[in-house]
Amino acid sequence: MLEALRLQDNGVPIYVQLREQMLGAMGAGILRPGDQMPTMRQVAVALRIDLNTVRHAYDDLEKMGAVRLERGRGTFVAEPPAPADPDAQARTADKLARQTLAQAKAAGVTTDLLLQRIAALAAHKEDLR
């Protein structure tokens, strides 16, 4: 996992890059529910970045519900939540869609290409596990 992390000098804060790469690894099935995450110190040393930067990324992941912290044991990839009621699920989907569209726009990716890639990934969701 650590060897796959790559930081870029592109103006995006390091903790955001780290958080997004870890979410990507979860989405791709590289990190699965129940897997133990590298320690914050391991990540900081491997990437030669400040421990507080890594802590910020891990805190964001915990707030999102993507990981759970077990005091004295470590940080683990969280199990996906049980499906919410349809209205709550729709609100969450809208929020995620807005965030994704904004990120794509900032990265110079067109909406059409993004939609094509999401559809392709969804069609091959077994590849994401």
From first to last of its 129 residues, what are the pLDDT tens digits of the chain?
777 788 888 888 999 999 999 998 998 889 999 999 999 999 999 999 999 999 999 999 999 999 999 999 999 999 987 777 888 889 888 998 998 999 888 889 999 999 999 998 888 765 544
Determine the residue type at 125.
K
Q: Which CATH architecture has domain 2-77?
A: Orthogonal Bundle (1.10)
- Please list the alpha-helical segments (H only) found in 3-85: 14-27, 40-47, 51-64
Using DSSP's 3-state secondary structure scheme, residue 69 falls into strand
For residue 26, give every residue at least 6 positions away whose Cβ sits within 8 Å of its Cβ, in sequence order, or none. 32, 66, 77
pLDDT at 129: 43
Stated length of the chain: 129
Q: Where are the domains of the chain?
A: 2-77, 86-128
Distance CA 27, CA 80 (A): 11
Residue 80: name the closest of 89, 91, 67 by CA.
67
